[in-house]
């Protein structure tokens, strides 16, 4: 009897600890029987004879069969070119520190104010069926449902981005994706891009280093990457970079550990997030900003708008703004996470966006991607609706569903003389500044990262991971890579060169290491 009790208790604990595995069981438990009569998409009840048999009957007259079969072949929407695989959840952002003197956006209005949010975390390169534990940067996207419409931060798990000229986006994506002839990932194309665009190495030092594989999304930081222009009620301008720091600490996986986990569970990070929230272990992040004035921007000895670089925390420390908490899983993944559509163009009064060209290009690319994937009315999909705004008043009409009430009977053009919606008048509103971007310094911050922010063990693992990737590339690409790594630091270049010569993909321990690191 005691043994039976222990077994039953263990079963109960397992159910509590794994809501992802028990989701369908819990649905059965909370329903006393079938939840209703089965219908076609048009609402007609489905007879028993049609639902259980099609043999020796006319298929075209079986509406259940026709309805389900024709829908099945249309159930997949176009996959995202990047960030195809993801985990996500919902929650809130709560203001803990007043920054209204910097930014007038209502989501920062007062201490204690809560704004609903949706978040999506995603590896960049892998396809929708790929592994969560791949070595890759991660997307870190947050949608704030504010009273003035939706504000989206479409950020990354790294504080910098991979290029500062938006023309390189198609090149970067295609070089990282599968070879069109072999349909295999190809080290030659990856390293061809990285060595032709050396500004990318700064970000890839983190990807090939210990930050390349998060231990969980709950332990993954997020960064807005752009320097946003913001304004207060008086039209005074400042500039900020957003940081999301996990309250559970930043934790990552080593290569061997990630490979083992990925072999057993390709959805490891997605499962972990769902289970944690399902068990009431709500992940949270401290949301902070770095604040720069116009004078700071003018007198900085680096380009504060260059997304391939960071803004030094030693000069511009983090100022806490609030907390983000995720406390609700999606009820239906496709409806709420797959259709969750982000765009840097989703801005609100007080936040003007980034003046850099990458931000400008992303405003176009993200919007166009959503039109392609979800249709012209993707804003009407519930998860994308600015539901807290005071009545959606837009002149866009018609197109592919959902159209909601399609604007009812109001005029469908502007300006008009028939009392249609009118724009608001903000005389104090300033314009997004225009900047002239100088020639980038592609290596200074990469050198600082290698010398000052990595431990001896981290440098060794960085070399190991670079060699694992670079080892199968063509020799001329290896030579180009060694030259770039040597510019970043002679020690780094030397260790990678020696590792390539020894034809081994494990750390090369140089006896002169301490001589190089000063």
Sequence length of the chain is 518
Q: Where are the alpha helices (DSSP H) in 58-184?
A: 63-72, 169-176
Distance CA 351, CA 146 (A): 12
Q: The tokens 């039109």 sit on which residue?
A: 371
Distances (CA, A) of 403 to 146, 166, 376, 381, 411: 22, 33, 9, 9, 16
User: 245 with 221: CB under 8 angstroms?
Assistant: yes
Q: What is the secondary structure of 78-140 as a DSSP string?
A: PPPSSS-S-EEEEEEEEE-S--TTT---GGGSSTT-EEEEEEEEEESSS-TTS-TTSSS-EEE
Distance CA 503, CA 234 (A): 62
Which residues have a Cβ under 8 Å from the Cβ of 14 and sit 6 or more positions away? none
User: 113 with 95: CB under 8 angstroms?
Assistant: yes
Q: The tokens 């866009």 sit on which residue?
A: 396
Which residues have a Cβ under 8 Å from the Cβ of 370 and sit 6 or more positions away? 341, 343, 378
> Which DSSP category does 380 fall into?
G
424 is in an annotated binding site: no
- Identify whether 415 is preceded by a cis peptide bond (ω within 30 of 0): yes
User: 329 with 271: CB under 8 angstroms?
Assistant: no
Q: Where are the alpha helices (DSSP H) in 185-290?
A: 187-196, 201-208, 255-264, 268-278
Q: What is the secondary structure of 73-92 as a DSSP string?
A: TT--PPPPSSS-S-EEEEEE
Which residues have a Cβ under 8 Å from the Cβ of 229 and sit 6 or more positions away? 237, 238, 239, 351, 352, 353, 354, 355, 432, 433
User: 92 with 334: CB under 8 angstroms?
Assistant: no
Please choose, from the candidates 481, 491, 482, 516, the residue with its C-alpha nearest in 3D space to the C-alpha of residue 193: 481
Q: The tokens 């970000």 sit on which residue?
A: 203
Which residues have a Cβ under 8 Å from the Cβ of 133 and sit 6 or more positions away? 213, 253, 258, 259, 261, 262, 266, 268, 269
Distance CA 503, CA 84 (A): 34
Q: Binding site membership for heme: which residues?
A: 366
Q: Binding site membership: which residues?
A: 366
């Amino acid at each position: 009897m005691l043994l039976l009790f222990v077994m039953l208790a263990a079963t109960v604990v397992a159910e509590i600890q794994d809501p992802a595995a028990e989701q369908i069981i819990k649905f059965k438990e909370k329903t006393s029987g079938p939840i209703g009569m089965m219908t076609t998409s048009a609402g007609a009840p489905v007879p028993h004879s049609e639902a259980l048999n099609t043999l020796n009957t006319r298929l075209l007259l079986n509406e259940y069969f026709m309805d389900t079969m024709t829908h099945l072949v249309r159930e997949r929407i176009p996959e995202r070119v990047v960030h195809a695989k993801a985990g996500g959840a919902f929650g809130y952002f709560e203001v803990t520190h007043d920054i209204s003197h910097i930014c007038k956006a209502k989501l920062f209005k007062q201490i204690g104010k809560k704004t609903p949010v949706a978040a999506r975390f995603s590896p960049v390169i892998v396809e929708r069926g790929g592994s969560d534990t791949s070595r890759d940067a991660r997307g870190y996207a947050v949608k704030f449902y504010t009273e003035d419409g939706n504000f989206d931060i479409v950020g990354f798990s790294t504080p910098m981005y991979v290029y500062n000229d938006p023309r390189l986006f198609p090149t970067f994506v295609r070089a990282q994706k599968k070879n069109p002839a072999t349909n295999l990932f190809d080290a030659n194309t990856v390293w061809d891009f990285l060595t032709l665009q050396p500004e990318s190495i700064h970000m890839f030092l983190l990807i090939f280093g210990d930050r390349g594989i998060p231990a969980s999304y709950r332990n993954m930081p997020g960064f807005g990457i752009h320097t946003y222009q913001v304004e207060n009620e008086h039209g005074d301008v400042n500039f900020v970079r957003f940081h999301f720091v996990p309250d559970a600490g930043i934790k990552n996986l080593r290569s061997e550990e990630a490979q083992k986990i990925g072999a057993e569970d390709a959805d490891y990070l997605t499962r972990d997030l769902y289970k944690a929230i399902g068990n009431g272990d709500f992940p949270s992040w401290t949301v902070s900003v770095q604040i720069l004035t116009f004078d700071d921007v003018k007198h900085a000895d680096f380009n504060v708008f260059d997304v391939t670089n960071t803004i030094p925390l030693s000069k511009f420390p983090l100022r806490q703004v609030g907390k983000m908490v995720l406390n609700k899983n999606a009820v239906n993944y496709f409806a709420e996470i797959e259709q969750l559509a982000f765009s840097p163009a989703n801005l609100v009064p007080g936040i003007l966006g980034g003046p850099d060209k990458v931000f400008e290009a992303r405003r176009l690319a993200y919007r166009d991607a959503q039109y392609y994937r979800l249709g012209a009315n993707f804003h009407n999909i519930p998860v994308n609706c600015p539901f807290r705004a005071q009545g959606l008043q837009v002149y866009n009409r018609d197109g592919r569903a959902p159209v909601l009430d399609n604007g009812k009977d109001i005029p469908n053009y502007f300006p008009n003389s028939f009392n249609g919606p009118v724009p608001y008048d903000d005389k104090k509103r300033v314009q997004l500044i225009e900047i002239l971007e100088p020639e980038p310094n592609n290596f200074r911050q990469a050198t600082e990262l290698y010398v000052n922010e990595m431990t001896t063990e981290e440098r060794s693992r960085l070399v190991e991971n670079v060699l694992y990737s670079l080892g199968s590339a063509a020799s001329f690409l290896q030579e180009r890579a060694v030259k770039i790594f040597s510019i970043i630091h002679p020690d780094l270049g030397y260790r990678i060169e020696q590792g390539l010569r020894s034809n081994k993909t494990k750390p090369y321990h140089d006896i002169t290491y301490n001589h190089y690191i000063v």
